[in-house]
Amino acid sequence: MNFLFARAPSIRIAPTATARRSISHSVSVSKALPFYLNTLRSAEQNDGKVLRMLMFGKPGAGKGTLSARLVKKYDILSLSTGDLLRQHIAERTEVGRQAEEIVAQGSLLPDDVMLKVVASKLELLNNRHWILDGFPRTLGQGKLLDAHLQNQNAPLSLVVNLDVADNVILSRISDRWVHLPSGRVYNMSYNRPKVDGFDDETGEPLTRRPDDNPEIFSRRLKQFYDSTSPLLAYYASPVNKLARLITLQGETSDEIWPQLDAVVRRSFPGVRERVSSISQRRYSLSDPFAMEQEKRAIKRGAASDGPNPSKFLN
Ligand code: AP5
Ligand code: MG
């Protein structure tokens, strides 16, 4: 299990102009940002009940959308492996070169590669409330994650299964547009940008994910049924002693969001709501602008409360 702790490839924060160009032309993005760094205090300082949550569901089920809503409202860290991989691809790292074709084809990366990608990030989740989106995605990844968390004496506390019908998802995917540097996701029928084709916050162009066409999408769905859905039985079995497994159904976020919000509020009362000034401060490994802000905050000593963002800056 030690390779879980191997260092992930270093991630450069500010993409070069070339990387940005390659983002617009060849790379995709999804809803949840890889990481939000915030001024969260140790979760144990609250009521001892720590949110360690998996956001589980088919491709396009809304994992990124709902994770982002939780992170915007509450002091929670989130990590999306899909976003992390797209960032690697954009920056042409070794992992990114390996991932590009696999992701575009709708297949899964090998477990050992994924573990390398998430290993150093998992360490940063210690004593935090957190959500993993898109990891684990195979039984092998699930068992390794459990072993890692047991080692940390920090087992999963919640698994949320988003149950959305295939036909509903297919229609959403064809409407999805994304802003790669930030991870923001738009949908032309459900969450339209203020100006079609452009990101609300930066004005930069939106792109489509190359794995969002019907042919590749059906392959991603098949991968889900073959490799990922067995994890549900694993989390429902007695092996999983501590994490609560809940399934949320609904076609719209208006149906699903209140249920999810209520579970978090009732079961994890120590998870604090952000105050409004903080909720505007979004820090993402994939957002160079936000990271510049964070670097300045570190210099001013303003970020001493949360995870040390300087870890991400080289
Ligand atoms: P990843 O990026 O994780 O893709 P995914 O799991 O296929 O999920 P998506 O991001 O497509 O969907 P989502 O559930 O986040 O939905 P979203 O919120 O965007 O992974 C990409 C690839 O990376 C994989 O295929 C694989 O190759 C690789 N990979 C990643 N992790 C891996 C791992 N652990 N192991 C191996 N390989 C790995 O919503 C979708 C759309 O619906 C949006 O348009 C949104 O606006 C809309 N929408 C969302 N909710 C609602 C709603 N309630 N009502 C109406 N519209 C909604
Ligand atoms: Mg996503």
Per-residue pLDDT of the chain (314 residues; tens, 9 = 90+): 333 433 332 222 223 333 332 222 222 333 333 444 333 445 554 455 899 999 999 999 999 889 988 988 999 998 999 988 998 998 999 999 999 999 999 999 999 999 889 987 888 888 889 999 999 999 999 999 999 998 889 999 999 999 999 988 988 888 899 888 777 888 998 889 999 999 998 899 999 998 998 899 999 999 999 999 999 999 999 888 788 999 999 877 678 999 999 999 999 999 999 876 444 444 343 344 544 554 454 455 544 333 333 333 22
The protein residue whose alpha carbon is closest to atom 46 in ligand 1 is 187
Whole-number pLDDT of residue 295: 45
* Of 86, 84, 160, 85, the residue nearest 124 (C-alpha): 84
Any residues with Cβ below 6 Å from ligand 1, and which? 30-31, 57, 59-65, 81-82, 85, 102-103, 106-109, 114, 134-135, 137, 141, 172, 175-176, 185, 187, 190-191, 211, 220, 252-253, 256
Q: Specify binding-site residues for AMP.
A: 81, 86, 107-109, 134-137, 141, 209, 220
Count Cβ atoms below 10 Å from residue 48 Cβ, excluding itself: 8
Q: Specify binding-site residues for GTP.
A: 60-65, 176, 185-186, 253
Atom of ligand 1 nearest to the CA of 135: 34
For the packed helices 166-173 and 214-223, what is the interaxial angle rounded to 10 degrees? 140
Whole-number pLDDT of residue 299: 56
Q: Cα torsion at 255, 136, 40, 295 (round to 10°)?
A: -110
* Of 47, 56, 235, the residue nearest 137 (C-alpha): 56
The protein residue whose alpha carbon is closest to atom 20 in ligand 1 is 82
The DSSP string of 214-280 is: HHHHHHHHHHIIIIITHHHHHHHSTT--S-EEEEEE-SSHHHHHHHHHHHHHHH-TTSPBPPHHHHT
pTM above 0.85, yes or no: no
Whole-number pLDDT of residue 172: 87
Q: ω before 181 within 30° of 0 (cis)? A: no
Residues 295 and 303: their CA atoms lie apart, in Å, by: 9
Residues 275 and 281: their CA atoms lie apart, in Å, by: 11
Give exposure, 15-33, as e/b (b: 16+ Cβ within 10 Å): beeebbebbeeebbbbbbb
The protein residue whose alpha carbon is closest to atom 54 in ligand 1 is 252
The pick from 28, 78, 79, 81 for probing ligand 1's pocket by mutation, whose C-beta has the most ligand atoms within 8 angstroms, reads 81
Question: Could you tell me if 291 and 25 are in contact, meaning their C-beta atoms sit under 8 angstroms apart?
Answer: no
Atom of ligand 1 nearest to the CA of 85: 23
